[in-house]
Amino acid sequence: MSVVIHPHAPHAHTTSRDLARNPMIIYWEMTQACALACRHCRAEAMLQKHPRELNYTESRALLQQILAFGAPLPHLILTGGDPLMRPDVYELIDEAVSLGIEVSITPAATQNLTRAVIEKLRSHKIQSLGLSLDGSDATRHEAARGVQGCFEWTMNALRVAGELEIPIQVNTLVAAETADDLSAIYDLLLTQRVMRWSLFFLISVGRGKTLEAVSPERGEEIMRWSLAVARRAPFAIKTTEAPSYRRVALETMRANGMPPEAIRRSSVYRGFGIRDGNGIVFVSNTGDIYPAGFLPVTVGNVREGDLVTTYRHAPLMRSLHDPNTFQGKCGYCEYRVICGGSRARAFTHTGDALESDPFCAYEPVRGREAYT
C-alpha cells in the first residue's frame, strides 16, 4: 500500500479542523488484488480479490457515509492492493467527485499503468497520484517489489504524470535494507517532477515482518538528514509512521533561532497532531474500519455500522484522539499533542495501541507542559 497525503495539505492548517470529529484523510483499500508481491506489503495482497470485497452498491454507500462527516470533508485516498484492478474504479471516482469529495489514488506500478490510464485518471479529476520507489535502480527497487520490470514502469509513470502535471507523491520505505540508498533515491527524484517525497518508516505488519527496521538512533539521523535536504529540495519531504519527526523538526527550528510565528507557518507544523486514528482512518476492502492501515485493530465495519459514528465515538478511537490517554513516556512527553508517537508501532511491539512508541529515542521529563 502506498500512502498519499492530500495535495493541498501542506497549506491547510489542522487547527481549523477538529481532528476528533472530522479526519483529514480516509484511506480506502478498494481491493486486495494486486499483481506485485512487495516484501513490505501491509495488505499481503493477492492476485485475486477477497470474496467479501465491498461491491459497487456497498461502495457507493461508503461514499455517502464519508459525505456525512460534513464540512470540512476528508480527502479520500484510494489504495489497495491495486485500486486499478477494480473494474468500477472510475465510476466510483466520478461518484465521489460528484459528491464534492476530493480523491487521490495509489495504483501499483505495473505494466498496466500506461500513459492512457494516467490520462484517464486525470480526466476523472484525480487530485494526485501516489507511487512507490524503494530503490535508486532496478536491482534495489525490484528486490523490494518482487516483480522484474516494475522499476521501469514506476519511472515511466513518474515521467508521464509529471508531463501531464498531475501532482505526485513518491513513497519510499525506510528500513535497514533501504536506508543507505535514500540519498541516491533523492538524487533520482531531482530529475522528476515530484510534489512530495514521503519516507515511510517500516511497521512490521503483513509481509513487512520479514524486513528489519532501522534503530531509533539511525532513524533520528535519517530525520535530521531529511530536514537538511528539505531546505533545498524542490519538493516537500514528510514522514509516515514517524511522528517523532515533528519533535526533531521543532528542536532543529528552535536551535536555528526560528521565531515561534515562523515555526507555526512551517509545513511541518501544519501536520502536528495528525497520527493513527486522529486525523486518519482506514477502511479495508471488506469494510472493516481501522484507526490506520498499519494498525490492524478493527473498531467497526461500514456494512453494519456508520463510519462517522465509529470514527468519533468508538472507544479506541476516542482514546487515540486524546494523547493524555497514552501510556509510558508517550503519555507524559511534552510533545504528546503534536507527536503522540506511532500508535501502529506501539501496537505491533506491545499489543496495546496506547503504549509508547519504541522507535523514539527521546526521554521526556515528567511535569513539563504539553507543546501545542
CATH code, 87: 3.20.20.70
Q: Please give the single-letter amino acid code of residue 184.
A: A
Walk along the chain (372 residues) and give the pLDDT tens digit of each residue. 334 444 444 334 444 689 999 999 999 999 999 887 665 555 555 678 889 999 999 999 999 999 999 999 999 999 998 999 999 999 999 999 999 999 999 999 999 999 999 999 999 999 999 999 999 999 999 888 778 899 999 999 999 999 999 999 999 999 999 999 999 999 999 999 999 999 999 997 755 567 899 999 999 999 999 999 999 999 999 999 999 999 999 999 899 898 988 888 887 777 889 999 999 999 999 999 999 999 999 999 999 999 999 999 999 999 999 999 999 999 999 999 999 999 999 999 999 999 999 999 899 988 788 877
Inside any domain, residue 97:
yes
Number of domains in the chain: 1
Q: What is the C-alpha separation between 136 and 251, in angstroms, rounded?
A: 30
Question: What's the pLDDT tens digit per position in 99-129?
Answer: 999 999 999 999 999 999 999 999 999 999 9
Inside any domain, residue 218:
yes
- In this prediction the pTM is 0.92
Residue 156's Cβ-count burial label (10 Å; 0-12, 13-18, 19+) is middle
Inside any domain, residue 346:
no
Query: β-strands 25-29, 280-283: how paired?
Result: parallel
Range of 72's domain?
9-307
Inside any domain, residue 344:
no
Share of the chain above pLDDT 90, in %: 78
In angstroms and rounded to an integer, the radius of gyration of the C-alpha atoms of the chain is 19
Please tell me what DSSP assigns to residue 180: G
